[in-house]
Amino acid sequence: MHKALDQFTRKFEPELIDEINQLGQLKKYKTGKVLIDFGSYVKNIPLVLSGAIKVVREDAEGRELFLYFLGGGDTCAMSLTCCINQKKSEIKAVVEEDAGVMMIPLHYMDGWMKYSSWRQFVFSSYNQRFEEMLNAVDSLAFMKLDERLMNYLLDCKQSSGDFSIHKTHQQIAQDLNTSRVVVSRLLKKLVEEERIELHRNRIEIL
């Protein structure tokens, strides 16, 4: 994990790298671990070194909707917002694939804004997450469900770097806020269009 940290911090000033090494906590999390939950106060900012983390939103009826993935080199702009405003989290961050994360206590955030590389990193993270959230809104408003499903599978591929998606139909349905039956039907349609292959416990993107 230290190698991943070195790659992550290469963009930062040496003084900031020293502070991250001294003040942050290196953590390893298994798939399924909830790092940030709905309604909780965020006390640490996650800097993702390896693996993948899924960020979801919850509607008024308690249904979850997939927003975006965080991979190596990313942080969660929404958790930054919650920290800065000292408000309860409106998202849930769940480890999608075993992840290495550097947890940074909230009270160091303001002081690090003196570093130009940190300011650029934070603003870039806000911009990237904002674009991904706009894409999520656009997909809900303008895309048919089969297009949303294909985009979701491509997001999974990009976050993991693997053309094989190891998810059940039920897991996909939950992320897309639909039913397992609908997902299964649409996956079969994508097979007919030769865009994917279905195998036992995995989906292969062509």
**Both 92 and 188 in a single domain?**
no
Q: How many residues are present in the chain?
A: 206
Residue 174: the pLDDT is 86
Q: Given a cut of 60, is residue 204 above it in pLDDT?
A: yes
**Both 30 and 124 in a single domain?**
yes
H helices present in 51-114, as ranges: 77-85, 109-112
**Both 135 and 155 in a single domain?**
no
Q: Given a cut of 80, is residue 203 above it in pLDDT?
A: yes
Residue range of the domain that includes 183: 144-205
Amino acid at 44: N
Burial of 195 per CB tally in 10 Å (0-12, 13-18, 19+): middle
pLDDT in tens, 72-110: 888 887 777 776 677 788 889 999 989 999 998 888 887
Residue 76: the pLDDT is 83
- 106 with 81: CB under 8 angstroms? no
The percentage of the chain sitting over the pLDDT mark of 90, rounded to a whole number, equals: 23
Residue 1: the pLDDT is 55
State the Cα–Cα distance between residues 136 and 157, nearest whole angstrom.
Answer: 17
Residue 27: the pLDDT is 93
| Number of structural domains found in the chain | 2
Q: What are phi and psi of 64, to 5 degrees?
A: -95, 145
- Residue that wins the pLDDT comparison between 139 and 38: 38
| Non-local CB neighbours of 191 within 8 Å, separated by 6+ positions | 197, 198
H helices present in the chain, as ranges: 2-9, 14-23, 77-85, 109-112, 116-142, 145-160, 169-176, 180-192
**Both 71 and 91 in a single domain?**
yes
Four-CA torsion 170, 173, 177, 178, nearest 10 degrees: -100
**Both 136 and 79 in a single domain?**
yes
pLDDT in tens, 117-134: 999 998 888 888 888 777
The percentage of the chain sitting over the pLDDT mark of 70, rounded to a whole number, equals: 96
- 128 with 71: CB under 8 angstroms? no
Of the spans 28-37, 50-59, 139-148, which averages the highest pLDDT? 28-37
Q: Given a cut of 90, is residue 187 above it in pLDDT?
A: yes
**Both 6 and 62 in a single domain?**
yes
The DSSP annotation for 108-128 comes to: GHHHHTTSHHHHHHHHHHHHH
The DSSP annotation for 129-153 comes to: HHHHHHHHHHHHHHS-HHHHHHHHH
**Once rounded to an integer, what is the mean pLDDT over residues 148-153?**
90
**Both 79 and 6 in a single domain?**
yes
